[in-house]
Amino acid sequence: MTTDTVQYDPLAEPTAHRVAMLNRDDRLFHIILAQQFDCELIETMCRLAEMIRNIAESKQGNRFLRSLLSHKRAMLYFIQPSTRTFLSFAASCQILGVPYNEVRNPSTSSEIKGETEEDTVHVLSQYFDLIIMRHPVEGFAERMAYKLNSMPRPIPILNGGSGKDQHPTQAMLDMYTLLRNFEPRLADRAHPTLSGNPFAGKTIAFVGDLKRGRTVRSLSYLLAQYAGMRLIFVSPPELGMGEDIIEYLDRHGVHHEKSEDLNEVIRSCDAVYMTRLQDEYDQAGESSKIDYYKYSLTVEMVEATKDSLVIMHPLPRRQELDVRLDTDRRAKYWAQVRNGMWMRAAMIAYIFNVDATIIDHYKTSYTA
């Protein structure tokens, strides 16, 4: 006799249910999916990042921030390479006084003796209060979040990049960068509250490997929260945006179009988001046949753009972004790197419920 057993897969649940399982008491508990953020939460996090940034300008402010979470410990479990995400999370832990440890090479852990990655994460959850995780497999961080929910010591997991799928903390720092440019009042100490829709009427181009670029996928989910925007996807036909994202944008009424001509598109853009070829996900070197650098951004191309164009790239870059643009006033990718540290500090502060303390301190010390 055979019995058919169907394995329960939480990732097959509707997104709203998955989001509910990642939250607790109407707040984020884990940060795994960009779909966990609505406009209000995006702007809350951006304002919090801005306040932390301002508070950290003084020695006294730094002392206050470092006192907030010195009783918590974080593990940076990064088994896929990273410079920015790893270091900005490390720096944001330091800003908030969170001692942290790291596993970057599983060959130095007991995984080399056959311990599964699942067991490794369970072990980490016994020593630390937060796991910040980068993993090459889509869904691994999410599955571990659900597993930890049912363990005696559930702790939050922050997704620092999950395969080709999502990079929600990068997308949040990208939103912070866009808002700092589209809504200058965000950085105005006297006006920490936004009003209206800063994305209305804006045109944003995503360029490059949109199929396997997890940053553009997560950023699409966040931008879809805002109405009245135009997204243009510029990519080789083989590396176009995934159908799941296209369907999501359609459901949210976001205007989107495709192009292969960056030179033409760039003239009408308010922001352009360049991306690297994600050839680490090639099966058999297939992307070597693609003329990827036909979709590069050069100094000559930005001569005919809006003066206020926001040039972004999650980095690392290759030849798709001309190094001569580095000193152009429109280049915001170095600011993006720094914004990541403040946004990630805001996320850790929020997860550990010290956001209200920071807001109170800011209001008392920095506003009239």
Q: Which x/- pattern, by CB under 6 A, does the window 165-184 give for ligand CP?
A: -----x--------------
Is there binding between residue 197 and ligand CP (CB under 6 A)?
A: no
Whether residue 255 lies in the annotated active site: no
Is there binding between residue 82 and ligand CP (CB under 6 A)?
A: yes
CB of residue 250 vs ligand CP: minimum separation in angstroms? Answer: 27
Whether residue 134 lies in the annotated active site: yes
Whether residue 203 lies in the annotated active site: no
Report which of 88, 149, 151, 104 is spatially closest to residue 123, judged by C-alpha positions.
151
Is there binding between residue 84 and ligand CP (CB under 6 A)?
A: yes
Asked whether 319 and 293 are in contact (CB, 8 A), the reply is: yes
Is there binding between residue 85 and ligand CP (CB under 6 A)?
A: yes
- The β-bridge partners of 258 are 233
Is there binding between residue 236 and ligand CP (CB under 6 A)?
A: no
Is there binding between residue 102 and ligand CP (CB under 6 A)?
A: no
Nearer to ligand CP, 82 or 365 (CB): 82
Q: How far apart are the first and last CA of the chain?
A: 77
Nearer to ligand CP, 51 or 310 (CB): 310
Whether residue 85 lies in the annotated active site: yes
Structure token digits, residue 5: 């057993």
Of the listed 113, 251, 289, 329, which one is catalytic? 113
Is there binding between residue 347 and ligand CP (CB under 6 A)?
A: no
- The β-bridge partners of 233 are 206, 258
Is there binding between residue 275 and ligand CP (CB under 6 A)?
A: no
CB atoms within 10 A of CB 152: 7
- The β-bridge partners of 230 are 203, 255
Locate tokens 């990064």: which residue?
A: 78
Whether residue 104 lies in the annotated active site: no
| HSE-CB of 360 using CA atoms within 13 angstroms | 7
Nearer to ligand CP, 161 or 163 (CB): 161
Q: Which x/- pattern, by CB under 6 A, does the window 290-329 give for ligand CP?
A: ------------------------xxx-------------
Asked whether 167 and 215 are in contact (CB, 8 A), the reply is: yes
Is there binding between residue 268 and ligand CP (CB under 6 A)?
A: no
- CA Rg value for the chain: 21
- Rounded to whole angstroms, how far apart are CA atoms 22 and 231? 29
Name the 3-class secondary structure at 218: helix
The site for ligand CP (CB under 6 A) is made up of 82-85, 161, 170, 314-316
User: Which positions are annotated as active-site residues?
Assistant: 84-85, 113, 134, 167
